[in-house]
Amino acid sequence: MPRELLKGNEAMAEAAIRAGVEAYFGYPITPQTELLEYMARRMPELGRVFVQAESEIAAINMVYGAACTGARVMTSSSGPGISLMMEGLSYIAGTEVPCVIIDVMRGGPGLGNIAPSQGDYHQIVRGGGHGDYRVITLAPATVQEAIDLTVLAFDLAEKYRTIAVVLTDGSIGQMMEPAELPPMREVPRTRPEWAVTGAQGRPRRVLTSIYLDPYEEEKTNQRLLERWRQIQAHEVRYREYYLDDAEIVVVGFGIAGRVALSAVRAARAEGIRVGLLRPITLSPFPYAAIEALCRQARAFLVVEMNAGQMLEDVMLAVARRVPVAFYGRMGGVVPFPDEILEEIRRVVRQPPRLEEDPREAWFQRWSLAR
Amino acid sequence: MQVEIIIAGFGGQGILFAGQILAYAAMDAGKNVTWFPSYGPEMRGGTANCTVIISDEEIGSPLVRHPRAAIVMNRPSLDKYEPLVQPGGVLVVNASMAGRAAERTDVEVVALPANEMAEALGDRRLANMILVGALLARLPVLTLEQVEHALREHMPGRHRHLIERNIRALQEGARAAQAAFTPAMPG
């Protein structure tokens, strides 16, 4: 396939189509709307299902219903809409049916704004809805990755009968980059053996998230956990840059990881031995890769567009073996590379201390700077 | 090597399209490129901007504080981006709309009355391509031929009848820039 100049939102929509998505249900919200608009145009052309629902709550329940029939389904939204979908997500998780969600994050909480943000990390990575479940969370940093991870999301969702979320933000959704789309796959002709497709001539199948007997619910929880263990063992993905001799390790995902890459290169040009680890799966999180880096790192610097949400996962992995520093921008502010470069220089100049709380130290510096 | 270009002005001046044509030309030339638009509430106020980054290596941040070059098509954009261009960079000003001269002496300044030039070419909407041509004359990150090729290849169907006049505007801008630039003074 040739390289095309593609906008993130439209690229993810076309990637889903090429991955064989059969039904899309959604409701418009900036900065995600181009994805829905693209689907509104393309899905009917291909004889597939597009429904603009009356709300995000309706959309996710349509996803739930269609997923139960074994169809390849998805929705997309941004923070306020994703929050409305949380009840449905929990039901989908409890019913063990696959689906793909794309969350194009924006500034919050509340109605917030439409600028790029990474404030939904906790909500998505920790599951979001009620009950005891996890979702696969994939975080693209480029338009090409947005395409590839959308396709992967369908594969993983179906392989593990789980929810897979592409967690991206307004910057990746709105920007254009050259990228290559995958070949068109066939829409699946057969239905999985658990799908409810009408029981004429065969024993009935039941899909539910209600287990009134706690022992039965516990068995379901156990099944979910066993699947999650498989996911943790096989599906961790991340990318490393300049880590071979790195003494300072920057950790950032999505757009923040990409901005950090520019800063890391600039710091390298100043002779600082710094590298970048960019998690691609936020869930399962690359704990082992970070743990391994503790043997060479003098300090970690976590960079996010939130108040330190992934920071907590990095700290779990580092387990106080090495000091950790944090730099965050919030509310929809995208840091410039020079800001992160200055943080890297500061880590060299005044290394963080093992006993300090990285978020508190960041907040104190920030308060002083104001 | 990485070059960052910000194009800014009012909505309707073809800001986003000018950036996209540079991005298409860079892609067709085999380079890495990012195009990042303003899409926030500032657009409701009628201003638009985009950042185009062209690079030989994988591009990190799609946004920079200090671009190598800026094309400013109105006064608010001149006020906002003149201070931010890298020393030694290029500032292309639409003198028809800027309302004042650029003040920096450590950047190369190209000021053209792009609106009047566009009208002379028969279409006021060509001001954006005149200024893109002017930029490329002073910052040869892409050749005019590469941008012309991009116009021919990627102009959307309903606008294809405008390709030739866009190319004339590019060439006119490039020609005029060679006579109308003020070189950067060494810092």
pLDDT, tens digit, for every residue of A337-364? 999 999 999 999 999 999 999 999 999 9
Please say whether the dihedral angle defined by the alpha carbons of residues A138, A144, A150 and A154, taken in this order, is positive or negative: negative
Of the candidates B24, B37, B61, the beta carbon closest to that of A262 is on B61
* CA pair distance A68, A91, nearest whole angstrom: 11
A27 and A171 share one domain: yes
Of A288-302, B28-42, B96-110, which range is least confident?
Answer: B28-42
Of the candidates A31, A258, A337, the beta carbon closest to that of B39 is on A31
Exposed, middle or buried, B41 (CB in 10 Å: 0-12/13-18/19+)? exposed
Q: Rounded to a whole number, what is the distance in Å from the CA of B155 to chain A's nearest CA?
A: 13
Q: Rounded to a whole number, what is the distance in Å from the CA of B128 to chain A's nearest CA?
A: 20
Q: Rounded to a whole number, what is the distance in Å from the CA of A98 to chain B's nearest CA?
A: 33
Interface contact A270, partner B, CB < 8 A: no
* CA pair distance A160, A169, nearest whole angstrom: 25
Yes or no, beta carbons of B39 and A174 under 8 Å apart: yes
B interface mutation test: which of A177, A250, A265 has the most B CBs within 10 A?
A177
How do residues B75-90 score in pLDDT, each as one tens digit?
Answer: 999 999 999 999 999 9
A230 and A242 share one domain: no
What does the pLDDT read at residue A188?
A: 79
B interface mutation test: which of A176, A242, A265 has the most B CBs within 10 A?
A176
Interface contact A240, partner B, CB < 8 A: no
A203 and A258 share one domain: no
The low-confidence residues of chain A, meaning pLDDT below 50, are: none
A226 and A347 share one domain: no
Confidence label for B38 from pLDDT (cuts 50, 70 and 90): confident
How do residues B160-169 score in pLDDT, each as one tens digit?
Answer: 999 999 999 9
A221 and A204 share one domain: yes
Of the candidates A3, A178, A258, the beta carbon closest to that of B61 is on A258
Domain final position from A216, A234, A252: A234
Yes or no, beta carbons of A177 and B63 under 8 Å apart: no
The domain containing residue B28 runs over which residues?
Answer: 2-110+139-161
Nearest CA in chain A to B35: A176
A127 and A148 share one domain: yes
Interface contact A175, partner B, CB < 8 A: yes
Distance of CA A199 to the CA centre of its chain: 36
A interface mutation test: which of B34, B35, B53, B61 has the most A CBs within 10 A?
B61
What does the pLDDT read at residue A2?
A: 84
Of the candidates B36, B40, B154, the beta carbon closest to that of A175 is on B36
Yes or no, beta carbons of B39 and A30 under 8 Å apart: yes
A216 and A123 share one domain: yes
What does the pLDDT read at residue B43?
A: 58
A108 and A123 share one domain: yes
A227 and A107 share one domain: yes
Q: Is residue B35 part of a domain?
A: yes
A298 and A259 share one domain: yes
Q: Does residue B177 have a pLDDT over 90? A: yes
What does the pLDDT read at residue B44?
A: 58
* Percentage of residues of chain B with pLDDT beyond 70: 96
Overall domain count for chain A: 2
Q: Which residues lie below 8 Å from residue B82, measured CB to CB, with a gap of 6+? A: B70, B72, B91, B102, B103, B104
The domain containing residue A292 runs over which residues?
Answer: 238-369
Q: Is residue B186 part of a domain?
A: no
What does the pLDDT read at residue A1?
A: 67
Q: Is residue B59 part of a domain?
A: yes
* CA pair distance A89, A288, nearest whole angstrom: 28
Q: Can you read off the two tokens belonging to residue A279?
A: 């998690």
Q: Is residue B41 part of a domain?
A: yes
Domain final position from A200, A234, A268: A234
- For residue A263, list chain B residues with Cβ-Cβ distance below 8 A: 60-61
Report cis status (omega within 30 of 0) of the bond before A351.
Answer: no
Of the candidates A5, A258, A336, the beta carbon closest to that of B27 is on A5
CB pairs under 8 A between A and B: 68
Overall domain count for chain B: 1
Q: Does residue B182 have a pLDDT over 90? A: no
Of the candidates A30, A176, A337, the beta carbon closest to that of B61 is on A337
A66 and A196 share one domain: yes
A16 and A117 share one domain: yes
Confidence label for B39 from pLDDT (cuts 50, 70 and 90): confident
Q: Can you read off the two tokens belonging to residue A276?
A: 């970048």
What are the helix (H) ranges across A103-253? 121-125, 143-160, 170-174, 214-234
Yes or no, beta carbons of A175 and B35 under 8 Å apart: yes
Please report, for the domain that includes residue B72, its CATH number.
Answer: 3.40.920.10
* CA pair distance B73, A238, nearest whole angstrom: 42
